[in-house]
Structure 1
Amino acid sequence: MEGQPDAEPGAAEQMHNQREAVEDGWMLWQGGQVRNTLHLVSAVAQWILLLACLIYLGIDFLQPSTTQSDKVLWTHIRYTGRSTRGVAMNLTAELGPMQIRNGSIVIPCDGLYLVSLKSFIYLEEEDWLKLTLQGTHKTSSSTLWEQIVQSSDSTVNLTTVLYLFRQDSITLWTNSNANISDLSFSLVLISPLYCNPNSN
């Protein structure tokens, strides 16, 4: 009879510990669900944005052109070769009316651009590589997008929309030596806000 009061607090403490463990597990599970939901919402938002851009392009193609030029401003680039640390890739246009100077794409108009990039990268010396899409406006440069590649045989994919300014130049850089295979890079003007591609 004397041992009974001691047993009750022990049982209560054990139930309390079990309840805390269950609550902790529930909180961890909820946190994981929130993260998964955020990832899903982000992915859906990106696909909706891409779909909206493609629909906009389709509508734009179907409407009669009222601008000075009937040409859609775009470029498509293919590249296979070696990248050198600290040197921009020497891009050349395969198709499209956009100009390329010294390996850089010259932006002809202010506006929204649909950007698509895909490539296979084989690392040579380093364990990782950073691929950077850089925009240069007059004398200042900024990073528009970058991706870290951490395995010797990796695929890089990018589909996004960027706001770019007339006379900006776009270049691709890597921070180490690598073999670039089947790089496909497309840039399409989808919403011009200021456009006079023939003026200097």
Structure 2
Amino acid sequence: MEGQPDTEPRNQDQMDSEKEHAEDEWKSWQRGQVRNTLHLVSAAAQWILLLACLIYLGIDSLQPSTVRSDKVLWTHIRYTGQSIKGVAVNLTAERGSIQIRNGSIMITCDGLYLVSLKGRIIFTDLEENLLKLTLWKTYKTTSEVLWEQTVRDSSNTVNLTTVLFLFDQNNVTLQTSSNVTIADLTFSLVLLGPFVCSV
């Protein structure tokens, strides 16, 4: 009977040790389940994304009404002259493959366009010392401002370099809010892609 009290604490220690071991195994199993669930969700998301890309590419390749052009579309304009308040500046292309009609740049392909605009504004009316130079996008009867800069007499330079997404059949024009002289204006528009051109 004297040996019995020694076995009880050992049994208790053994049971506590087994309980801790079982709890550690349970926690490890739960972490493994969470990890497996995250892997499963990640794999499912990747498959869904891959399927969406394949569907997009398939639909894009099945559209017969559009053709992709290998020709780079661009225009480069130099202009010095008078502008009339609220009337499109009469731009004409110096070089390039994008057409300009009645001062409007005619967009024939959807896509990203690199736009660069630099020049000087000379105020012809001494009372006027402020104007807004605006780049407009027109589609049929609706117009939208693409870019606008306020020019003051003290800082009369214009400098814009940006990327714009333009659509087929948009017309791009440049207008001023007062009668001024525009000097040494260079205006370039280059289609970067990806693009789809109308037939």
Cα distance, 1:137 vs structure 2: 1.2
Q: What is the TM-score with the length of structure 2 in the denominator?
A: 0.63
Show structure 1 runs of 5+ residues with no match: 1-66
Q: What is the TM-score with the length of structure 1 in the denominator?
A: 0.63
1:75 aligns with 2:80: no
Indicate if the aligned counterparts of 2:68 and 2:197 stay in contact, CA closer than 8 A. no
Q: For each residue in 1:26-53, what CA deviation from the matched residue of structure 2 results, as whole angstroms up to 9, or x when unmatched? A: xxxxxxxxxxxxxxxxxxxxxxxxxxxx
Name the residue aligned to 1:176.
Answer: 178
Name the residue aligned to 1:110.
Answer: 110
CA-based RMSD: 1.5
Task: Find the aligned partners of 1:116 and 1:193 in 2 and give their Cα distance.
Answer: 19
**Pair member with larger Rg:** 2
The amino acid of 1:130's aligned partner reads K
The amino acid of 1:74's aligned partner reads W
Q: For each residue in 1:44-76, what CA deviation from the matched residue of structure 2 results, as whole angstroms up to 9, or x when unmatched? A: xxxxxxxxxxxxxxxxxxxxxxx8644210000
Task: Find the aligned partners of 1:143 and 1:192 in 2 and give their Cα distance.
Answer: 23
Runs of 4+ in 1 over 3 A off after TM superposition: 67-70
Indicate if the aligned counterparts of 2:119 and 2:185 stay in contact, CA closer than 8 A. yes
Of residues 146-155 and 72-81 in structure 1, the stretch that sits farther from structure 2 once superposed is 146-155
The amino acid of 1:195's aligned partner reads C
Name the residue aligned to 2:187.
Answer: 185
Name the residue aligned to 2:152.
Answer: 150
The count of corresponding residues between Structure 1 and Structure 2 is 131
Show structure 2 runs of 5+ residues with no match: 1-66
Name the residue aligned to 1:12.
Answer: none
Indicate if the aligned counterparts of 1:122 and 1:153 stay in contact, CA closer than 8 A. no
Cα distance, 1:123 vs structure 2: 1.1
Q: For each residue in 1:67-116, what CA deviation from the matched residue of structure 2 results, as whole angstroms up to 9, or x when unmatched? A: 86442100000000011111110000000010111110000100100000
Task: Find the aligned partners of 1:194 and 1:68 in 2 and give their Cα distance.
Answer: 5
Name the residue aligned to 1:128.
Answer: 130
